[in-house]
C-alpha cells in the first residue's frame, strides 16, 4: 500500500494545522489540514476525488454521501479531522480497473440517472443498504435513499437500479 504525504493548503496566519491519516478507497493518505476543513472539501480539493459532489452544504441533498467505515455519511457535515484513522469509500472506489460495481451497472441499465450530479451519493447510500440487506424490498430501497435528493429522474428508475444491483449481487 502506497503512502503519500500531501499538503492540502498553506497555513495562513495563526490557523492551527492538524496532520491526519485516512484510508481512502483502500489507499492510505496522510494529509495536513485546518481542523475546520470539511471531509467533502478534503476529498474534492485536497485529494482531487471530484466524484463526491456538494449540493446543499446542510446535510439535506445527499450528493456528498460517502462511506466511512462502511456507513453512509454526508461528507459536507463531517470534519476531515473526524475521519482521522478511518476508512473512506468514495464513488471512485466502487469500480475496479476492469469492472463496474453492480450498482453502477444497475444505474446504467435501468436509466437511474439523468444529470448525474446526485448519482455518486445515491449509489453510496444504496451500497450501505445492500451491504446490510442484500434482498431489500422496494420500500426498503425508497427509505434507504430518502436522504438523497434527485431533481431529474422521479426516483422510480433509481429504485429499479438498486433492485437490479441487489439481484446481480445475490446471483454472484
Partner 1 sequence: MSQALDENKIGGLGVSRKRVEDNRFIRGRGNYTDDIVLPGMLHMEILRSPLAHARIKSIDTSRAWEIPGVRLVLTGEMAATRNLAWMPTLSYDTQAVLATDKVRFQGQEVACVVADDPYIAKDACEAIDVEYEPLPVIVNPEQAVAEGAPLIRDDKAGQADNVVYRWEVGDQAGTDAAFEHAAVVSKLRLHYPRSHPSPIECCGSVADFDRATGKLTVYMTTQAPHIIRAAVAMVAELPEHLIRIISPDIGGGFGNKVPVYPGYVCSILCSILLERPVKWIEDKTGNLISTGFARDMYLDGELALRADGKILGVRMHAEADHGAFFADAQPSKFKIGLLHSTFACYNVPAAHLTARGTYTNKAPGGVAYRCSFRVTEAMFFQERMVHQAAKDLGLDPAEFRRRNFVRADAFPYRTPFGFLVDSGQPEACLDVGLKAVGYEDFLRQKEEARRRGRRLGIGISTMTEPLGAGNSREYDILGIKMFDSAELRVHMTGKALLRVGAKSQGQGHETTWAQIVSHELGIPADDVTVEEGDTDTAPFGMGTYASRSTPVAGAAISMVSRKIRAKARKLAAHLLEVSEEDLEWELGRFSVRGVPEHGVTIQECAMAAYGNMPDGMEPGLENHAYYDPPNLTWPFAVYIVTVEVDPETGVWDVLNTVAVDDCGVRINPMIVEGQIMGGLTEAYAMANMQFITFDAEGNCVGSNYMDYLLPTAWETPGFELHSEVVTPSPHHPIGAKGVGECAAVGGPAAFVNAVMDALDDTGVRNIDMPLLPDRVWEALTQHHDVSGAPPVRTDD
25 binds partner 1 (CB under 8 A): no
Q: How many residues does the structure list for the chain?
A: 172
**φ, ψ for residue 169, nearest 5 deg:** -65, -35
**Identity of the residue, 18 or 147, whose beta carbon is nearer to partner 1 in the bound complex:** 147
Grid cell at residue 163:
433492485
Stretch that binds partner 1, among 16-24, 59-67, 78-86, 128-136 (CB under 8 A): 59-67
2: CB partners within 8 A, 6+ apart: 27, 28
Rounded (5°) CA angle 24-29-34: 105
Query: Which of residues 2, 3, 58, 171 is near partner 1 by CB under 8 A?
Result: 58
Is 143 one of the binding residues for partner 1 (CB under 8 A)?
yes
- Please write down the long-range contacts of 149-154, taking CB distance under 8 Å and 24 or more positions apart: 149/55, 149/56, 149/60, 149/61, 149/62, 149/63, 149/118, 150/118, 150/122, 151/115, 151/118, 152/113, 152/114, 152/115, 152/118, 153/111, 153/112, 153/113, 153/114
Q: How far is CA 112 from the centre of its chain?
A: 17
Candidate list 47, 78, 83, 159; residue touching partner 1; CB under 8 A: 159
**Smallest gap from residue 46 Cβ to partner 1 (A):** 11
Binding to partner 1 in span 71-100, by CB under 8 A: 90-92, 94-95, 100
User: Of 75, 119, 165, 166, which lies in the binding site for partner 1, with binding defined by CB under 8 A?
Assistant: 119
Q: Does 65 bind partner 1 (CB under 8 A)?
A: no
The region of 67-75, 79-87, 114-122, 127-135 touching partner 1 under the rule CB under 8 A is: 114-122
- Contact positions vs partner 1 (CB under 8 A): 9-10, 12-13, 34, 36-37, 41, 44, 48-58, 60-61, 63, 90-92, 94-95, 100, 104, 107-109, 111, 113-120, 123, 141-143, 145-159
Amino acid at each position: 500500500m502506497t503512502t503519500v504525504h500531501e499538503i492540502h493548503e498553506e497555513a495562513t496566519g495563526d490557523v492551527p494545522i492538524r496532520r491526519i491519516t485516512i484510508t481512502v478507497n483502500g489507499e492510505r493518505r496522510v494529509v495536513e489540514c485546518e481542523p475546520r476543513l470539511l471531509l467533502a472539501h478534503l476529498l474534492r480539493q485536497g485529494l482531487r476525488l471530484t466524484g463526491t459532489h456538494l449540493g446543499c452544504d446542510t446535510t439535506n441533498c445527499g450528493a456528498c454521501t460517502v462511506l466511512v467505515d462502511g456507513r453512509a455519511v454526508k461528507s459536507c457535515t463531517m470534519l476531515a479531522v473526524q475521519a482521522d484513522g478511518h476508512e473512506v469509500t468514495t464513488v471512485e472506489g466502487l469500480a475496479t480497473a476492469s469492472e463496474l460495481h453492480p450498482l453502477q451497472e444497475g444505474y446504467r441499465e435501468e436509466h437511474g440517472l439523468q444529470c448525474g450530479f446526485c448519482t455518486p451519493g445515491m449509489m453510496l447510500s444504496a451500497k450501505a443498504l445492500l451491504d446490510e440487506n442484500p434482498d431489500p424490498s422496494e420500500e426498503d430501497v425508497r427509505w434507504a435513499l430518502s436522504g438523497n435528493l434527485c431533481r431529474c429522474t422521479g426516483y422510480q428508475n433509481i429504485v429499479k437500479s438498486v433492485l437490479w444491483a441487489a439481484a446481480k449481487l445475490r446471483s454472484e
